[in-house]
A and B are shown apart, each in its own frame.
Chain A
Amino acid sequence: MVPLLELQSVSKAYGKKTALLDLSLSVEPGRIVGLLGSNGSGKSTLMQIAAGLLHPDSGSVRIRGQLPGVRTKGAVSFMPDRPQFESWMTIGDALDFQRDFFADYDADKARRMLDFMKLSRRDKAFSLSKGMGERLQLTLALSRKASLYLLDEPIGGVDPVARDHILDALVEFYEEESSVVVSTHLISDIERIFDEIVMIQGGSVIMQGDAEQLRMASGKSIDQLFKEVYAEC
């Protein structure tokens, strides 16, 4: 089976600052992958490279066996870690934008998600609270029938109740044939939805595996493992 996403020996630096170093990663179809790392570990860079928004300095990136480009962007739905709305936009405008840009936009799913997220098309996208903004971002990302969803810190700025709601939406609305990569540094609330986890530090993978097997082998939660692994670094 061709992996949905495959990175081989990817490196990326911003000036002298290394963001990713010789990182390899493969995501099979139908998996929810947790990309775990502290702030500055390279998570967002990795997501942007996978989304085709950044080019690696070296190494190769393949989406379903293809180089990132116009075609792969149709298969990849990316939720950036900060809002990207124009000041004049209402939530309805933001959704219409998504509809105009992507052929796989599903109006019915978007409507159901708006209801679920308690968002109204008439509200200004720009003036939403951080939590409501994240709900809108997730709605936009999941309103497409993509093969690969890349969600960069979808639960970063919200309170625990809203966090649960966003997780519910994720389980409820993701397409089972597709894969989801979720980057986060908040692990305990979200770890139960992961099939696999990839921990990165200093731009390299330091641990990866099947979430249940890691729990079974260690008798510990992923959250606990993460803390231990990072304490050693």
Chain B
Amino acid sequence: MTIEFDNNLPIYLQIMNYIKLQIVTGKLGPGEKIPSVRELASELKINPNTIQRTFQELEREGVAESRRGLGRFVTSEDEKIMSIKKEMASDLLDRFIGGMRELGFDNENIVKIVTESVEGGRSGGGGDAHGTLA
């Protein structure tokens, strides 16, 4: 597990997003055990307190749940996982739409470009554009 950290953002938010991405993409399955604080800390070379904070936030959001004596587990609620996925998609969309508006495209044109891009099978290229716009 590797994360390229951006020192300008709180570290725990970056780890939260990373774990959510793993859940959404199925690398961490529903109900699967999440590595311990100590394991993640030494893997990511991060202070254990920061990992602790990450887990607390994930629990507060209902993404993870801790079972006494057993450790922490990914939620097994499909609805919750779906809502994380939607949340991440809407973040991506917001950034994309924001970037397109900055470039001077109106709503109609944005939709047109996206449609063309998807239908033209250029989804790979579209993906790159998200990156540069974000």
Interface residues of A (CB under 8 A from B): 30-32, 164, 167-168, 171-172, 176, 188, 191-195, 212-213, 215-216, 219-224
Contact = CB atoms under 8 A, between A and B. Distances in A.
A195 B47 contact: yes
B127 interface: no
A188 B8 CA distance: 10
Interface string B78-91: 00000000000000
B60 interface: no
A172 B7 contact: no
A179 to B, nearest CB: 11
B9 A215 contact: yes
20 contacts: A32-B47, A164-B45, A168-B42, A171-B48, A176-B48, A192-B5, A192-B45, A194-B47, A195-B50, A212-B12, A215-B7, A215-B10, A215-B11, A216-B10, A219-B8, A219-B9, A220-B8, A221-B7, A221-B8, A224-B8
A212 B11 contact: yes
A212 B45 contact: no
A31 B48 CA distance: 10
A213 to B, nearest CB: 8
Contact of B7 (A168, A171, A222): A222
Contacts of A213: 10
B46 A192 contact: yes
Nearest to B46: A192
Contacts of B21: none
Contact of A31 (B42, B46, B49): B49
A188 B48 contact: no
B45 A171 contact: yes
Contacts of A194: 47
A45 B42 CA distance: 31
Contacts of B9: 215, 219
A123 to B, nearest CB: 27
A172 to B, nearest CB: 5
A193 B7 contact: no
B41 interface: yes
A192 B7 contact: yes
Contacts of B42: 168, 171-172
Given A215-B8, A224-B8, A32 B49 contact: yes
